[in-house]
Amino acid sequence: MTKVKTSLGRRSFIKSVSLAGGGLIIGFNWLACKGPAEEGSEELAMQMPDEWFELNGYLKIGDNGIVTIYSPNPEIGQNVKTSMPMIVAEELDVDWNNVVVEQAPLNTEIFTRQLAGGSQSIRQGWQSLRTAGATARQMLLTAAANQWEVPVSELSVENGVIKHQGTDKTIGYGEIAKAAVNVEIPEEVELKNIDNFKIIGTSRKNVDAKKIVTGQPLFGIDTYKEGMLIAMIVQPPAFGMEFKTMDAEKAKGMPGIKDVFTIDTYPEDMEKEWSDVAAFSKLVVVVGESTWQVMQAKKEVKVEWDLSPELTKQIEILEKSAGMDGVSGLESTSIHASLMADVGSKKSEIVRRDGNPEKAFKNAARVIERSYTCPFLSHNCMEPMNFFADVSGDKAELLGPIQTPEYAELSVNKRLGFDLENIDIQMTRMGGGFGRRLYGHFLVEAAVISQKMGTPIKLVYSREDDMTNGVYRPAYHVTYRAALDGNNKLTAFHVNAGGIPESPLFANRFPAGAIDNYLAESWSMESNISTGAFRAPRSNFIAGAEQSFLDELSEEMDQDPIQFRLDLLDRAASNPVGEENDYDAARYAGVLKLARDKSGWDNTTGLSRGVAAYYCHNSYVAQILDLSVKNNQPLVDKVTCAVDCGIVVNPDAAKNMVEGGTIDGIGHALYSEMTFKDGVPQQSNFDTYRLIRHKEAPKTIDVYFIENGIDPTGLGEPPFPPIQGALANALYKATGKRFYDQPFISHMQDDLKT
């Protein structure tokens, strides 16, 4: 067993008798310790205690032996609501069937990092969750030892039942919980050896599965409150425009419509949080009794929009500097492409330089240069954007799907001027997020509308509202160059990466550290179009581009693409260049070798095969994709995935995430794009914005995890980026054509037309 301090100082644990249930509450700070019974059964129902404490997370043991674990982090489909309690239950050594899991409300005084993002929930909670369970177990054992007057060392516990080795006495957790509150919290506890895990590493069903499949209300869109009205928004038709005037008389007279008015979500004097990303602040709002009535009334609101001088000025400057004609400040995809190709060569900033890359390129026998691009992408969560708000007097009750409730609370505080203790944000399960629900402008809009109407409001975005309103994945452009000497050996590597409005560059990731002469440059350009995080931010493009270039480079050097990568990784492991490389070369190589072995890389399959591997969110993923092409339509037969994310808490759930990320990556690389003409989004629903169909998903996805006993790392995002490179490399093998610009299907269809 491993001994750990219970709290790094004992402040992280506070105990109290549950006045209602006579049980034990153990609270713990999720970040301080870094390094069910039949549902609805009355006899198992737990009463809440009268008082909670200023803690960041807690578990409760009732006098009937049931353990309630509250999950602070938002559940976005990544299964933390199941996996996090599994970690506590493992160290507590309780029967999983006796665990009840509930979503905790937002409480910034108790919880830390109530956030769904960055694939960090399990990684950051791992040590503290284990410590919490182990501390509770130790206190219960001590209470039993005191009652029986025997040494703690003579006791054992299994599935929540304590047993004395000498007398065979037994007592359940529920029976001893009340006595345990008199036990002093131990300064350190022993964590289980991972070889003794009984819950962690076994597959457990999603705790919300039955509710999901039977259609019980779990999601924000399910919210209904007595007296609630529906609100929808009329937004500017183009990025770079703003509200001028409106005529809403006809709409106001339509059945069920209560009012039509304007709001300013973020006044100029308001200090914004980082999560307050919004395309438009001045909006027209329609409020009515039902969604259908409001949608019809929206069509009858006549709004005049005008160019926003503030929004267009910076774009005009950029366009003029690039020699563009017809400058208006209203952006178009065609102009974006020209600007990105131009800006990268003129305004780059050197981020990393190893050796003398300029000299190596000058002396090269050959230089291989390739450029890659990707478009803006819309998140398109399955559940429409929505939020409930009831603002009355100086209090605000808010309920809905949000990835960043803590930041949203601060935004409401600044926008409405209410004290934080008068703002109550409850989290529902989310029907998708992928970064879209990191940005809480729709929550703030709901609060402002409810305050103005003086009644409970559910704000709903139609699919068209969301798709044309942002927040989008940025558009990116990267150019790679490689220098080869007379012996066809790689002597220098150069990456120049940028985008609108950010760069996708990770200067210290592979192949940095594996090449003597290495240069990384970065640039970005401004835009009126609102952008934000998309699943695996920045990695979601740069990984595919990098892996495509490495494949092409290996071909130019007449090397096997996997062995080429392994040779570079061997250099990075044995004699690395530089000291800031942010990956473990041995773990990186490990997933490549596992994928190679499991896929039978050297065996011909009759299909075209591509490989890619990447490191992000502290994890390593290698993928080998097999496909065929018929009538210029790729048919993915199989994907072999090798993943190193440390200890896997819930294998089935982990496999599901890898499968989902793989399909998601294939779909976006092949089909998806947002384009603009004079600031107007050209896609507004799924008839024009292409997502992958069921029949286009891989027939088989085999997932293998590296078993190394390392503490868990990220998993929700790492499978998404590399598969795009594996897809591009397989397409080349099938068609003889390299694909440099996403979405790939557009260029395949162009070939068919010609």
pLDDT tens profile 251-300: 999 999 999 999 999 999 999 999 999 989 999 999 999 999 999 999 99
Mention every residue, 6+ apart, whose C-beta is less than 8 A from residue 736: none
Q: Which residue has the tokens 């007097």?
A: 393
Residue 37: pLDDT band with limits 50, 70, 90: very low
Mention every residue, 6+ apart, whose C-beta is less than 8 A from residue 624: 595, 596, 599, 601, 609, 610, 611, 639, 640, 726
291-349 pLDDT tens trace: 999 999 999 999 999 988 776 665 655 555 555 555 456 889 988 988 898 877 778 99
Whole-number pLDDT of residue 320: 56
DSSP three-state, residue 139: helix
d(CA 4, CA 189) in angstroms, rounded, equals 6
Percentage of residues of the chain with pLDDT beyond 70 = 89
d(CA 465, CA 243) in angstroms, rounded, equals 16
Q: Do domains 2-202 and 535-753 have the same CATH topology?
A: yes
* Average pLDDT of the residues in 444-448: 98
* Average pLDDT of the residues in 714-743: 97
Residue of 244, 278, 280, 246 whose CA lies nearest to 260: 246
Q: What average pLDDT is seen over the chain? A: 89
| CA distances for 600 relative to 160, 348, 539, 733, angstroms | 46, 42, 27, 17
* Average pLDDT of the residues in 464-490: 96
DSSP E strands in 248-385: the ranges are 257-264, 282-288, 302-307, 349-354, 366-374
Whole-number pLDDT of residue 605: 77
The secondary structure of 180-198 as a DSSP string is HTTSPPPSEEEEPPGGG-S
Whole-number pLDDT of residue 101: 85
CATH fold group of domain 535-753: Aldehyde Oxidoreductase; domain 4 (3.30.365)
Per-residue pLDDT for 232 more than 60? Answer: yes
CATH 3.30.110.40 assigned to domain 2-202? The reply is: no
Whole-number pLDDT of residue 657: 95
Residue 64: pLDDT band with limits 50, 70, 90: confident
Distance from the Cα of residue 481 to its chain's centroid: 31
Task: Select the more confidently predicted residue: 340 or 541.
Answer: 541
700-705 β-sheet, strand order: 608-616, 619-630, 633-644, 700-705
d(CA 616, CA 705) in angstroms, rounded, equals 16
DSSP three-state, residue 484: strand
Mention every residue, 6+ apart, whose C-beta is less than 8 A from residue 391: 397, 416, 447, 450, 451
Residue 106: pLDDT band with limits 50, 70, 90: confident
Whole-number pLDDT of residue 71: 79
Structural domain boundaries in the chain: 2-202, 224-307+385-460, 535-753
468-479 pLDDT tens trace: 998 999 999 999
Whole-number pLDDT of residue 28: 41
d(CA 427, CA 218) in angstroms, rounded, equals 10
pTM beyond 0.85: the answer is yes
Phi, psi of 71 (to 5 degrees): -100, 110
d(CA 468, CA 377) in angstroms, rounded, equals 11
Task: Select the more confidently predicted residue: 81 or 58.
Answer: 81
Q: Which CATH architecture has domain 224-307+385-460?
A: 2-Layer Sandwich (3.30)
User: Is the omega angle on the peptide bond into residue 213 within 30 degrees of 0, that is, cis?
Assistant: no
Per-residue pLDDT for 120 more than 70? Answer: yes
Per-residue pLDDT for 8 more than 90? Answer: no
> Token pair of 426, please?
């409850």
Whole-number pLDDT of residue 632: 87
Residue of 76, 36, 79, 71 whose CA lies nearest to 653: 79
**Lowest-confidence range among 100-114, 384-398, 440-454, 475-489?**
100-114
